[in-house]
Amino acid sequence: MKYRHVILDRDGVLNREAPRAGYIRDPREFEWLPGALEGLAALRRAGVRISIATNQSGVGRGLMTAAELEAVHARMLAEAAASGGALDAVFVCPHAPEAGCGCRKPAPGLIDAALASGGVSAAETLAVGDDERDLEAAARAGIAAALVRTGKGRETEMRLCGARVPTYDDLRALAQAIAAGALTGLEKP
């Protein structure tokens, strides 16, 4: 079975992470990673639904406003669409860690919401991230996951030391594998 829906983490998968564990507060600070736009376009051409699931606790911590985050996402959506890789939906956890919400990854809430919105079965949906908490959220939501080596990905790959998580250099390489049907029916973690 081929994947028909991907749920992508944002920072470290689509765009460069903010320096010093900060937050992207301004559209001008949103910098696409090499291969990300091409990867989105390849997924789109393959007919894959694209959701984003992102922790943005800077909002809950009072370090950025919801409006600032909206503006960043407006740029992201516009540029993705302009490159042929339009995003279908963006799911955000704006809460601070201590809020104890059910959506901040590794909690499964964002993945659950993306699954509920898509009309695509969990078995045909793949989560993609650069951080262990992305993989854990996928596991808790009962879907398969893959890792990219961008962002924190290389560090995460080392920490996992050989756990059976399919790992690709970047979103473009992963998208090509999905489009070619080379990444199908992974065992759920």
> Whose Cβ is closer to Zn ion: residue 44's or residue 105's?
105
Site for Mg ion in 96-125 (CB under 5 A): none
d(CA 140, CA 83): 33
> Whose Cβ is closer to Zn ion: residue 56's or residue 176's?
56
Question: Per rule CB under 5 A, is residue 9 in the interface with Mg ion?
Answer: yes
95 binds, among Mg ion, Zn ion, none (CB under 5 to 8 A by kind): Zn ion
- Of the candidate spans 31-39, 106-114, 128-136, 155-163, the one that interacts with Mg ion by CB under 5 A turns out to be 128-136
Closest among 35, 6, 53, 21 to 150, alpha carbons compared: 35
Instruction: Work out how close the CB of 130 gets to Zn ion at its nearest, in angstroms, rounded to a whole number.
Output: 19
Question: Per rule CB under 5 A, is residue 130 in the interface with Mg ion?
Answer: yes
Query: Cβ neighbours of residue 7 under 8 Å, at least 6 residues apart?
Result: 51, 52, 53, 110, 111, 114, 115, 125, 126, 127, 128, 138, 143
> Whose Cβ is closer to Mg ion: residue 4's or residue 51's?
51
What does R_g of the chain's alpha carbons equal in angstroms? 15
Catalytic status, residue 9? yes
Secondary structure (H, E, C), 114-165? HHHHHCCCHHHEEEEECCHHHHHHHHHHCCEEEEECCCCHHHHHHHHCCCCC
> Whose Cβ is closer to Mg ion: residue 113's or residue 171's?
171
Catalytic residue among 11, 112, 130, 134: 11
Catalytic status, residue 131? no
Interacting residue ranges for Mg ion, rule: CB under 5 A: 9, 11-12, 130-131, 151
Residues marked active site are found at 9, 11
